[in-house]
Amino acid sequence: MAERKTDLIGLLANRGEDVVGKLSEMPTAQRILEAANGLRERADELQKRLRGLDALEARVKALEKKVDQLSRPSTGAKRAAPKAAATKRTTVKKTTPKPAPPS
């Protein structure tokens, strides 16, 4: 009985190899395999991008905490508003026109 099982498995393995060989000769099967490989590559790229999102989420959480801390009103002395800097004005000296010499 054990020999019969191994023979059956061997027969199935041989049949599988034959089917794979025939599939590789068919143009439609080749296009399907190419599409499947393209899908696999896209899925791998998507996984890499999703792994990068975890780091971004952690950074966003840290920034949100900082914003919350900065937006809270301070309990200590209030800060004085910055004084407006006085602007220095320069005046232009008015000159009176000189009278024209008599001719």
Each residue's pLDDT tens digit, 17-73: 888 788 778 888 888 888 999 999 999 999 988 888 888 999 999 999 999 999 988
Domains identified in the chain, total number: 1
Residue 24 lies in a domain: yes
Q: Note whether residue 94 is domain-resident.
A: no
Does residue 103 have a pLDDT over 70?
no
Q: Which domain holds residue 61?
A: 10-71
pTM, to two decimals: 0.37
Q: Evaluate whether residue 22 is within a structural domain.
A: yes
Alpha helix (H) ranges present in 72-98? Answer: none
Tell me how many helices (H) and strands (E) the chain has. Answer: 2, 0
Question: Which H or E element spans position 89?
Answer: none
Q: What three-state secondary structure class fits 102?
A: coil
Domain-located, residue 5: no
pLDDT category, 90, cuts 50, 70, 90? low
